[in-house]
A and B are shown apart, each in its own frame.
Chain A
Amino acid sequence: MGNISNRYAIVGVGESERSKNSGRSPLHLALDAARAAIADAGISAKEIDGFMSYHENDSCTSHQLATYLGVRPKYVKDITGGGSSTEMLIADAIGLIEAGMLNTVLIYRSMNGRSGVRMGGGGWDMNLLQNAIDGGSFIIPYGAGGPGQWFGLFATRHMHETGITKEHLGHVCVSFYEHAQRNPKAFFNGKPLTMEEYLNTPDLVYPFNKHDFCLESDEANAIIVTSAERAKDCKSRPVYIMGISGRQCHPHTHYWSDLSQVASDYVAPEVFKMAGVKPEDIQVASIYDCYSWVVLRQLEAYGFAPRGEVGDFVADGHLKMGGRLPSNTAGGMLSEGYTHGMNNVLEIVRQIRHEYQGTDRQVENCEIGICTGWAGPDMAGAMILKN
């Protein structure tokens, strides 16, 4: 494969309604999101010959989705995967288009994340869980059963080493909640957060209180990827993929002995090299935010602030509008909603298209943005996009 930089584009984005109790199946939600993305791209469903999704055994299949759009595609693929799967699947789609197998691919994530299968757990069989998780019998008997605890172990150590404080975690939350006030579809629209309120909220799992945790929602999101040539025939303004990269690093997905590294540390140089830009060229960001601390660790990994200065970076308001790196401008997963990362992808595509032009939600004149994915400390992905 040759250099694919700027030769592929995201040409359609769409979502279903967002709720806490959809009363509908993931297939219905996925159909809503897919139809919205198809309308956004201005193409016919039959032009899509590949369908892909990621799931945690909580979704419908790509085959079902294609069927009820009236399409018989060449290729369907459903992977189990975490919060860096969007980037991985976009890379897969590009590879398949580059290989001549496909023309246009729809990628979606659909979940009843609040009313159905909840990511934070509950109702699991303890023996099944010990077997399902690599090294599970070494963590489950100790009560370490949720990502808040797992990532919290990284956070406590990182805070100890770099001087990041609870207040710095709070700045991430306050900044993203502020964005949510400009997004009428955000769950926390109308519910801004002050630092005082943040600091007075009791911890669920030290170092995290409820504001540091992402939301849960019933929702589907979809995006459409095609070649830059085909993108010209679409109705929407194409958002070109300058660079994309994914990476695994730790030996186990749920048992970490070495807290000094995360996969994002390795993704960062690759994605910037491929895109041919530097961190200071990035004007808008979607940074995976399953927990507030995860944002801080990625700011360090992607070089937006040097190690040890990330806390000051967020305290100085650089994640807010008018800051150096307005991030998660729809409110992110901390305050907009949660589709396992994909709602952040939709927002950055719309920012880079200047879809909010004329409103206070638009990051003025943004041309280049980064979208990061975090399946865990062990697995990450990122892409750099431009208009």
Chain B
Amino acid sequence: MSYQRPIPLKNHDNHPYWDAADCHELSLQKCECCGEYAHPPGPSCAKCGSTELSWENLGSDIKGTVYSYVVSYRPFLPGFQDEIPHIIAIIELEKAPSVRIIGNILECRPEAVNIGMPVQMVWVDITEDRALPQWKAVL
């Protein structure tokens, strides 16, 4: 069966992030002017307004910790009805703590998730040419 959930839309500002994800890598937008990462990426730096932006590839070994989470027991969007309950978490990156990435923690019971829990980024191939960054607990 084809993938039923929303597929990340690429646009002018964010496509390097999703292009890297499709290759199972994490790429982050960074401001050359103030040195801050910009996530989600945009047309200029949300901190200082500079347009001197570049992309930094952090590779495929991405670790982080749970900064916060919710557990959805009801689908709020189409395609998630078979994924109940699912955990939506904000993950603080080990290599770039100011960057916090929202994703699902897979294969995790709701009672098992907690703030500070170490997680690892994984990529789920959702279509022939698209992959979605997700998270799994580090055991």
Contacts and interface: CB of A to CB of B under 8 A. Distances in A.
Interface of A: 120-121, 126-127, 129-131, 134-146, 148-149, 152-154, 156-157, 160, 202-207, 251-252, 255-259
Nearest to A210: B74
B105 to A, nearest CB: 10
A140 B77 contact: yes
B132 to A, nearest CB: 6
Nearest to A153: B68
B20 to A, nearest CB: 14
Contacts of A202: 73
B69 A141 contact: no
B137 interface: no
A131 B9 contact: yes
A143 B102 contact: no
Interface size class on chain B is: 35 or more
A139 B40 CA distance: 10
Given A131-B9, A149-B70, 15 more contacts: A126-B77, A127-B6, A140-B8, A140-B77, A141-B8, A143-B72, A143-B75, A143-B77, A146-B76, A153-B68, A160-B115, A205-B72, A252-B40, A256-B90, A258-B100
Contacts of B132: 141
Contacts of B88: 142-144, 149, 153
Contacts of A157: 67-68, 90, 115
Contacts of B115: 156-157, 160
B62 interface: no
A126 B8 CA distance: 10
A165 to B, nearest CB: 15
Contact of B8 (A138, A148, A156): A138
Nearest to B103: A142
Q: Which of B69, B86, B104 has the most CB atoms of chain A within a 10 A radius of its CB? A: B69
B75 A206 contact: no
A129 B8 CA distance: 11
Given A206-B71, A251-B46, A137 B9 contact: yes
Nearest to A143: B80
Given A141-B6, A157-B115, A257-B99, A152 B40 contact: no
A205 B69 CA distance: 10
Nearest to B126: A141
B75 to A, nearest CB: 7
B11 interface: yes
Contact of B102 (A121, A138, A146, A206): A138
Top-10 shortest CB links A-B: A135-B40, A157-B68, A152-B70, A251-B46, A206-B71, A126-B6, A145-B77, A146-B76, A257-B100, A137-B8
Contact of A137 (B14, B47, B68, B104): B14
Interface string B32-71: 0000000110000011000000000000000000011111
A141 B90 CA distance: 14
Given A130-B8, A142-B102, A255 B40 contact: yes
B59 to A, nearest CB: 20
19 contacts: A121-B76, A121-B77, A126-B78, A130-B9, A134-B40, A137-B14, A137-B18, A138-B14, A141-B7, A143-B72, A143-B76, A143-B83, A143-B86, A153-B70, A204-B73, A206-B73, A255-B102, A257-B90, A259-B67
